[in-house]
């Protein structure tokens, strides 16, 4: 196999792996958000219409919201849909944009790994504690920080690797539609 063909096949394989992981994560976000809306809607109806609220609804809604938020941020890192200020960026030459982009991705990796490390500390602190209504471990509030932080770092690393290959498709994700 020619070196250029091998390089292109590696690019395609790498991009497919990252795309598959992030498409699955997006699907999981849809599922979490749908479940969250159903639980909150049911809770509002039961509380105000029937005066008989669910004891566990707020806790589960909180867990779903934390998981959704961390996973959505990780996907946004991969899709480059996170917040950016483009006033200076637009005036930079292409080479400088490339260097700044790598710097931003490295900062994201540092930030995401910091989240993972601190989440581990919090998980150890609350490991034996339970949420009052659902009796889930309080650690479930911090697992999404570890998982989402790891996925953010993975995606930022993937962005750095994939930036070395020309022609990456930066098409919009379903979150932007």
User: What is the chain's pLDDT, residue by residue, as a tens digit (177 residues)?
Assistant: 556 566 668 778 889 999 999 999 999 999 999 999 999 999 999 999 999 999 999 999 999 999 999 999 999 999 988 777 788 888 989 888 888 889 999 999 999 999 999 999 999 999 999 999 999 999 999 999 999 999 999 999 999 988 755 555 544 433 333
Closest CA to 162 of 2, 26, 18, 4: 18
Pairwise CA distance, residues 127 & 134, whole Å: 15
Distance of CA 33 to the CA centre of its chain: 13
Per DSSP, the three-state class of 127 is coil
pTM, full prediction: 0.84
């Amino acid at each position: 196999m020619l070196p250029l063909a091998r390089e292109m096949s590696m690019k395609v394989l790498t991009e497919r792996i990252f795309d598959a992981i992030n498409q699955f994560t997006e699907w999981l976000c849809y599922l979490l958000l749908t479940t969250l809306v159903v639980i909150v809607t049911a809770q509002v109806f039961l509380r105000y219409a029937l005066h008989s609220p669910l004891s566990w609804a707020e806790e589960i809604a909180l867990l779903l919201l934390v998981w959704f938020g961390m996973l959505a941020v990780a996907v946004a890192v991969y899709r480059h849909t996170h917040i950016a200020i483009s006033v200076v960026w637009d005036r930079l030459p292409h080479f400088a944009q490339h260097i700044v982009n790598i710097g931003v991705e490295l900062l994201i990796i540092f930030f995401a790994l910091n989240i993972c490390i601190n989440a581990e500390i919090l998980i150890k602190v609350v490991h034996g504690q339970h949420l009052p209504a659902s009796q889930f471990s309080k650690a479930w509030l911090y697992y999404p920080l570890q998982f989402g932080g790891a996925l953010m770092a993975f995606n930022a690393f993937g962005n750095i690797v994939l930036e070395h290959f020309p022609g990456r498709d930066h098409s919009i994700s379903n979150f932007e539609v």
